Amino acid sequence: MSGYTPDEKLRKEQIIKLRRQWLKDQELSPREPVIQAKPLGAVAKFWEGFLQPKSLWRLYTYKAYTGSVFTVKRLLIPAWIVHYYVKYHLDKRPYGIVELKPKLFPGDTVLETGEVVPELPESHSHH
């Protein structure tokens, strides 16, 4: 047996008809939407005027944004990279950058402060 049964054909036609009617109902007439537009609030008025092409706010904001992007990309980031390189790679002072501090023993002199490490007190109570 091939093809649809009469009940299946009827059901398929009904579904197709309902889909077409639903799509037709989705189309708006020229009179829609019927709801009256609400008056804009303070924030909405600001953004409505702000987003208009060639408004002064928009132009000044764009100028401030491009100026700050230029400052960050062309001045601050390169200055930070140069500062980092100079601080951690070109510094010639002893112990300016310490990867591992040398061990200090009694009688040694601390280079940063110039003080002498005192001798350890003699105690035989624990051994």
- Predicted pLDDT at 77: 97
Cα three-residue angle 83-86-90, rounded to 5 degrees: 170
Please report, to the nearest 10 degrees, the dihedral formed by the alpha carbons of residues 5, 10, 11, 14 taken in order: 160
Closest alpha carbon to 117 in 106, 101, 125, 102: 106
- Predicted pLDDT at 92: 66
**pTM assigned to the model:** 0.36
Q: Give 111's contacts (C-beta < 8 A, 6+ positions apart).
A: 94, 95
The pLDDT tens digits for 27-44 are 988 887 778 878 889 998
pLDDT mean over 112-123 = 85
